[in-house]
Structure 1
Amino acid sequence: MLKLWALDMHGGPGCGGGSGGSMIAELMATKGELIRAKGGGSRMLLPYSADIELIVNKHLDAQLAVVVREHYLVRDPHRLDSQKYSACRCSRAQFYRYLHDAHVSIAGMLLERAA
């Protein structure tokens, strides 16, 4: 789900033109006409993407949010893993522990919202 959130809300390769991949930006750019088939893959429905965006930006612990952004939003194919850990100011083991904790926290918050 987080991979789809990253593509849906923050764009990426194959997500469309200059709108950055955000569904709202695409709707604005095309004056309400959205062709969902472009990009080749299915995309998440906007409410879930918006919920994840809110959770990551407002409700997730700051360190966990940094790790989530680094893991899902930084798409430089030349970036080394060690650079990822450096950017988050943690070791490899801590990085993956934080990522796991973030997954658990986000899943829990999504379940709370759905209930």
Structure 2
Amino acid sequence: MIKRIDEMLKLWAQDLHSPLPENTGGPSGGNMIAMLMECKGELVRGTRGSRVLLDESVDIELIVKKHLPPRLALVVWEHYCNHESFLSQKLLHCACSSRTYYMRLHDAHEFIQGMLMGKAA
């Protein structure tokens, strides 16, 4: 795994895809459109003290949902967004061994890094 991408993906999942505890009155519940509406489209830092800027979270969201090959996207969703399941359940859902799971996760990191660097270039 690529440490910087791993950190970004953890923060992305926390900012946009982790459920808020009940009765906290948190902003938008992680919905990107609602978050943009609340801040009137202005670039703001992540709502939960994130070190990933909102635009980076949006870029990662777009890459994972639209550009990442489906088998890699599934592993990313399972690894970073599914906190309810055990690793054995994640492996079963992804239909692969643990070796394949982590190889796909590494491939996803490389793909995301390439897409983010391509955007910066």
Point out which structure has higher relative CO (alpha carbons under 8 A, 6+ apart).
Answer: 2
Fraction of identical pairs, as percent: 55
Q: Deviations over 1:42-99 (max 9, x none)?
A: 34211111111111111111100000000011121xx221101001111111000000
TM-score, length of structure 2 as denominator length: 0.75
Q: Distance in 2 between matches of 1:30 and 1:112?
A: 28
Which residues of structure 2 form unaligned runs of 5+? 1-7
Structure with higher helix content: 2
Q: Distance in 2 between matches of 1:16 and 1:103?
A: 33
Q: CA deviation at 1:12?
A: 3.6
Which residues of structure 1 form unaligned runs of 5+? none
Q: 1:82 — aligned with what?
A: 88
Q: What is the count of residue pairs matched by the alignment?
A: 110
TM-score, length of structure 1 as denominator length: 0.78
Could you say what the CA RMSD is over the residues aligned between the two structures, in angstroms? 2.8
